[in-house]
């Protein structure tokens, strides 16, 4: 891959000193956007309510499309089926990942039992988490552009330290779909550290304690010469300030003998009680007693009672801190600083317990809701060339990936990745007994390989014949310090291996590079639509083949009516997949799965009973 130095003399970041590059905290519960002005990072406020936080909630109206933020938040009670929240939990997730997530969501996530990325059904249309996240990013982009009075096209976006490659790529894609060139994806703990100016000179080991509304993370970072390394992470994706509120509500229910009928009598009474609990939690930051009347009931709570209620949850976070230290092979004395992130760290009891565990005073003088976005803005300011004392490493100027089914580009190393770098991903075969697999390497930002530059190809030969989907083929991209790209493919079950070296630069000019980047932003919506259709067709073909196999293998145990209905649904799916309506294809997939899944379970039970007959357990 070509190697360039970001010094604002050349490359796609050249001549950008006058352009503001924004920092975005795309959060599970709330999102923010920030930028640097006169050397100081500031979070952008909403003109209507003067708040920096944008609820990460979307509501799909029947005619006018999506609304985002506070307006969508109001629809959680009145129209929950068409209101989407916590979409960040689904970014880069396949259906197989959903077992622990599905139970907490109030909207419809389609499950076809495959390794495909999830889709969300709203008003009979199917959306990916990437598309929904893009709507949130668009709202943030509009907000900051209104503040600046100019168009914004470049951004740094933060993600949790534990996000994998698929989740990070999904975040990049969401940015592109929102009309943003995502220059960097950086870890949230790294951003928080930047906001406090930690680690730019001396080597330090810090802990970032992040307790938000719905999730908790602890990250141990080692920082040296401005380079951040994550030593360990731990946490609980279902523990946060919302759970504190729930404990208060449960306490009041018991204390005042409130039945469900009383709590939920009247419009949104239950929601109002939860809001009252949240108010009580915030009240204890300055007072020791809370008292308020709601629907004729006088609700009371003391700070001591509140702290007793939340002690088990805070203990859980401390256990996570202890485990993260153990994983990093460190002790509390090795930690120089503790950075507090997330609105729930405002709770005095939380700060006291964390400080006592690490035996140090915590860093909390920057707004914990804003600290990640502010750090992202500082990273953006560095990329804009406004902080000359910060070293920027050589990077890959354009994304690198391979061609997958349907002519799609699957990015393995995103653009702006630091050099040297190494990344890989696993693939499999699409037909039974496949012995050879062509690996075609491409460079570019578009979703279809026909719009990108082909760098080379090779064939992984002599794969042992196996059923489709069984081989495990790992493709690795390795870029050395000289920008030379090595691509390796290995079938993990047999050890069959092949590789190719691709020399740097490939004759691409700065003008061509700029054009490719601009094309990727301008065509993001059409590219995403084309990708969605191809992915739906690929999924449909896979399900049609799987269904044929299922019917062939289980003909003797299926009734004529079941076979006839499955064949009819198969025919509907085949007809839909011949067209270009992704919603129609996805709907046909759902109908076939909904009917065949219970039958498949019944057949499996029969097979197991037959196999176990006469056996002792």
CA distance 170 to 92: 6
Of 112, 135, 181, 188, the active-site residue reads: 188
- Read out DSSP for 389-401? TS----B-SS-EE
**Long-range CB pairs of 600-608, under 8 A, 24+ apart, other chains included:** 600/550, 603/554, 603/557, 603/558, 606/557
Catalytic residue among 12, 88, 245, 535: 88
Q: Tokens standing for 71?
A: 């307006």
Under DSSP, is residue 377 helix (H, G, I), strand (E, B) or coil? helix
- Give dist(CA 1, CA 459) in Å, integer: 21
Beta bridge partners of 68: 58
How far apart CA 396 and CA 394 sit, in angstroms, is 7
Residue 70 CA to residue 47 CA, distance in Å, equals 13
Which residues have a Cβ under 8 Å from the Cβ of 509 and sit 6 or more positions away?
none
Nearest by Cα to 133 from 27, 62, 43, 44: 27
Q: Is 605 a catalytic residue?
A: no
Q: Active site includes 88?
A: yes
Tokens read off for 17: 């000193």
Assigned token pair, 381: 């300011």
CA 264 to chain centre: 34
Tell me, yes or no, if 454 is annotated catalytic.
no
CA distance 598 to 541: 21
Given strand 83-85, what is the order of strands in its sheet? Answer: 65-68, 57-61, 83-85
From the candidates 210, 236, 403, 539, give the one annotated as an active-site residue.
210
Count of CB atoms within 10 A of residue 276's CB? Answer: 20
25 catalytically annotated: yes
**Angle between helices 524-553 and 582-612 in degrees, nearest 10:** 30
CA distance 577 to 586: 9
One of 25, 236, 447, 491 is an active-site residue; which one? 25
Q: What is the set of active-site residues?
A: 25, 88, 188, 210
């Amino acid at each position: 891959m070509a190697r360039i130095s970001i010094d604002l003399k050349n490359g796609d970041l050249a001549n950008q000193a006058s352009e503001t590059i924004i920092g975005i905290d795309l959060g599970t519960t709330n999102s923010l956007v920030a930028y640097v002005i006169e050397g100081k990072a500031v979070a952008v406020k909403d003109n209507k309510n003067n708040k920096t936080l944008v609820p990460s909630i979307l509501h799909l109206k029947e005619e006018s499309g999506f609304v985002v933020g506070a307006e969508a938040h109001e629809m959680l009670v009145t129209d929950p089926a068409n209101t989407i929240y916590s979409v960040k939990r689904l970014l880069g997730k396949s259906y197989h990942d959903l077992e622990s997530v599905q139970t907490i969501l109030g909207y419809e996530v389609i499950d076809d039992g495959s390794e495909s990325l999830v889709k969300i059904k709203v008003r009979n249309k199917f959306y990916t988490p990437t598309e929904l996240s893009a709507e949130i990013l668009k709202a943030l982009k509009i907000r900051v552009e209104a503040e600046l009075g100019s168009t914004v096209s470049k951004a740094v976006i933060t993600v949790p330290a534990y996000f994998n490659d698929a989740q990070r790529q999904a975040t990049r894609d969401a940015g592109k779909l929102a009309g943003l060139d995502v220059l960097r994806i950086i870890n949230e703990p790294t951003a928080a550290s930047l906001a406090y100016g930690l680690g730019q000179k001396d080597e330090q080991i810090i802990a970032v304690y992040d307790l938000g509304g719905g999730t908790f993370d602890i990250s141990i970072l080692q920082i040296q010469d401005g380079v951040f390394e994550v030593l360990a992470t731990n946490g609980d994706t279902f523990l946060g300030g919302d759970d504190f509120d729930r404990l208060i509500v449960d306490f009041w229910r018991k204390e005042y003998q409130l039945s469900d009928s009383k709590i939920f009598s009247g419009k949104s009474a239950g929601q109002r009680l939860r809001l009252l609990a949240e108010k009580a939690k915030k009240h204890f930051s300055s007072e020791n007693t809370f008292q308020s009347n709601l629907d004729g009931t006088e609700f009371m709570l003391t700070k001591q009672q509140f702290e007793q209620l939340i002690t088990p949850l805070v203990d859980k976070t401390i256990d996570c801190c202890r485990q993260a230290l153990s994983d990093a092979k460190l002790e509390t004395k090795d930690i120089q600083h503790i950075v507090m992130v997330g609105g729930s760290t405002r709770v005095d009891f939380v700060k006291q317990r964390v400080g006592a565990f690490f035996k140090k005073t915590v860093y909390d003088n920057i707004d914990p809701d804003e600290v990640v976005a502010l750090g992202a803005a500082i990273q953006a300011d560095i990329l804009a060339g406004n902080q000359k004392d910060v070293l920027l490493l050589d990077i890959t100027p354009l994304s690198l990936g391979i061609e997958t089914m349907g002519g799609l580009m699957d990015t393995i190393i995103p653009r702006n990745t630091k050099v040297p770098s190494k990344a890989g991903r696993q693939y499999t075969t699409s037909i039974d007994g496949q012995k050879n697999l062509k690996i075609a390497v491409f460079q570019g930002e578009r979703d279809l390989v026909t719009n990108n530059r082909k760098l080379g190809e090779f064939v992984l030969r002599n794969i042992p014949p196996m059923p489709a989907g069984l081989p495990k083929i790992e493709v690795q991209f390795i870029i050395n310090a000289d920008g030379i790209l090595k691509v390796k493919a290995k079938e993990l079950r047999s050890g069959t291996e092949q590789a190719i070296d691709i020399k740097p630069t490939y004759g691409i000019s700065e003008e061509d590079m700029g054009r490719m980047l601009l094309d990727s932003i301008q065509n993001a919506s059409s590219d995403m639509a084309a990708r969605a259709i191809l992915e739906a067709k690929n999924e449909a073909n896979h399900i049609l083949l799987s269904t044929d196999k299922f019917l062939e293998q289980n003909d003797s145990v299926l009734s004529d009516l079941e076979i006839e209905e499955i064949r009819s649904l198969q025919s509907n799916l085949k007809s839909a997949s011949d067209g270009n309506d992704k919603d129609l294809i996805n709907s046909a997939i759902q109908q076939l799965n909904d009917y065949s899944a219970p039958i498949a379970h019944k057949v499996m039970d029969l097979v197991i009973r037959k196999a176990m007959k006469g056996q002792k357990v």
